[in-house]
């Protein structure tokens, strides 16, 4: 039911994730999962994908969808913009639903609004011809903002309409209706295309290195924050791995909206000290993860170990 970063193949392959082909429906910000469930029930032939950043919402959605026992839904906990730009391929989505997005009403925060002209142009590339973005919101100013941005994008036509009944049954819709708030609804249909190919942020194979020397002499790596190209790498903790007579480094990596907590291990093997990323948490082998590994390897080298070989991406300069 969950799609973890390490399970994603770039670009996205519905058959790999869902085990079958089918129309791809994408909900951005699925909240408690009620609408995801309705989408999956309404069209069992569809592959329904949802993205959500809130851990508590994902937990509630998981409980709901587990009870429903639907096999055509997958959830991604993370940034929908990352998923759209770096994973979903051009012409792969039938419909995108955005229900009651955060309006970011403060002027200084408006740059965080989801439906900007740039993002709509990206969606137009990922949508099939005449694919749709369906927006429902209670926030009049955000609704007008989204319409203006759609016009600015030049790749969508719009239909403003009364929201169908299923859009009025979500948790937020019921709350706003009890308060007497108006609900706004628009269907944006792709009528153009701005090519926006999927960028390459890394392969699916983890980088690693082989060192020689005595791990017992290197001491403890201090916590630190590193900026490497488009990634932030935060070394949080350095632990001894007594079971394997090695070390484990707890590292947080942020890049392009993707946040990953990874464990880098340094353990003695037959031919030397292996340094690589543990599969714990199923991380995606992005450039940022490669940079995190490089930071640890460089620190070990600075502490007296000798680097015998490195397996890094060819286009990832040192």
In a domain, 216, yes or no: yes
d(CA 121, CA 127): 10
In a domain, 201, yes or no: no
Pair 212, 175 in one domain: no
Pair 75, 183 in one domain: yes
pLDDT of residue 205: 63
Pair 307, 270 in one domain: yes
pLDDT tens digits, the chain, 318 residues: what are they? 888 887 777 777 788 889 999 999 999 999 999 999 999 999 999 999 999 999 999 999 999 999 999 999 999 999 999 999 989 999 999 999 999 999 999 988 889 999 999 999 999 999 999 999 999 999 999 999 999 999 999 999 999 999 998 888 887 788 888 888 899 999 999 998 788 888 877 655 668 999 999 999 999 999 999 998 889 999 999 999 888 789 999 999 999 989 999 999 999 998 999 999 988 878 888 889 999 999 999 999 999 999 999 886 544 444
Pair 181, 218 in one domain: no
**Number of structural domains in the chain:** 2
Q: Which of 190, 219, 246 is the last residue of a domain?
A: 190
Beta pairing, strands 24-28 & 93-99: parallel
Q: Which of 190, 216, 232 is the last residue of a domain?
A: 190
pLDDT of residue 226: 97
* 102 catalytic residue (yes or no): yes
Pair 48, 127 in one domain: yes
**Which candidate, 193, 208, 259, 269, places its Cα nearest to that of 232?**
259
Pair 181, 101 in one domain: yes
In a domain, 317, yes or no: no
**Which candidate, 171, 292, 303, 168, places its Cα nearest to that of 226?**
292
Q: Which of 132, 157, 190 is the last residue of a domain?
A: 190
Pair 166, 259 in one domain: no
- Show the domain range for 152: 5-190
**CATH for 113:** 3.40.50.150
Pair 257, 156 in one domain: no
Residue that has been written with the tokens 């026992």 in this structure: 69
Pair 219, 307 in one domain: yes
| Strands across the sheet containing 47-52 | 73-77, 47-52, 24-28, 93-99, 127-137, 184-190, 156-160
User: Which residue is catalytic, options 102, 118, 196, 241?
Assistant: 102
In a domain, 200, yes or no: no
In a domain, 248, yes or no: yes
DSSP the chain: -B--GGG--SS--HHHHHSS---EEEEES-TTSHHHHHHHHH-TTSEEEEEE--HHHHHHHHHHHHHHT-SSEEEEES-HHHHHHHTSPTT-EEEEEEES-----SGGGGGG-S--HHHHHHHHHHEEEEEEEEEEES-HHHHHHHHHHHHHHSSEEEEE-PPPGGGGSSHHHHHHHHTT---EEEEEEE------PPP----SS--EEEEES-GGGS--PPPEEEEETTEEEEEEEEEEEGGGTEEEEEEEEEETTEEEEEEEEEEEETTEEEEEE--TT-----HHHHHHHHHHHHHHHHTT-EEEEEE--TTS--
pLDDT of residue 193: 79
Pair 149, 216 in one domain: no
Pair 74, 135 in one domain: yes
């Amino acid at each position: 039911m969950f799609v973890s970063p390490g399970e994603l193949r770039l670009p996205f392959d519905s058959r790999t994730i869902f085990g079958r082909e089918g129309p791809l429906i994408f909900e951005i910000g699925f909240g408690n999962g009620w609408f995801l469930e309705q989408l999956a029930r309404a069209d069992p032939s569809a592959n329904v994908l949802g993205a959500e950043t809130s851990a508590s919402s994902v937990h509630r959605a998981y409980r709901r969808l587990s009870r429903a026992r639907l096999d055509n839904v997958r959830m991604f906990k993370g940034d929908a913009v990352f998923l759209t730009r770096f994973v979903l391929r051009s012409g792969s989505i039938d419909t995108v639903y955005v229900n009651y997005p955060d309006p970011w009403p403060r002027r200084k925060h408006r740059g965080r609004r989801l439906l900007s002209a740039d993002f709509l142009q990206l969606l137009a590339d990922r949508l099939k011809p005449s694919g749709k973005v369906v927006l429902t919101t209670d926030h009049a100013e955000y609704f007008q903002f989204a319409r203006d941005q759609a016009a600015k994008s030049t790749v969508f036509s719009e239909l403003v309409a009364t929201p169908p009944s299923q859009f009025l049954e979500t948790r937020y819709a019921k709350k706003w209706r009890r308060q007497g708030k108006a609900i706004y609804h628009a269907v944006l249909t792709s009528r153009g295309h701005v090519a926006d190919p999927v960028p390459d942020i890394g392969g699916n194979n983890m980088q690693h290195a082989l060192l020689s020397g005595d791990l017992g002499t290197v001491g403890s790596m201090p916590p630190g924050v590193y900026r490497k190209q488009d990634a932030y790498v935060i070394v949080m903790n350095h632990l001894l791995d007594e079971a394997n007579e090695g070390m484990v480094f707890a590292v947080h990596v942020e890049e392009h909206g993707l946040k990953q907590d990874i464990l880098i291990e340094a353990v003695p093997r037959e031919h030397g000290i292996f340094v690589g990323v543990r599969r714990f948490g199923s991380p995606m082998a992005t450039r940022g993860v490669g940079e995190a590994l490089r930071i640890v390897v460089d620190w070990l080298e600075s502490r007296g170990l000798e680097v015998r070989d490195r397996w890094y991406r060819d286009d990832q300069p040192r």
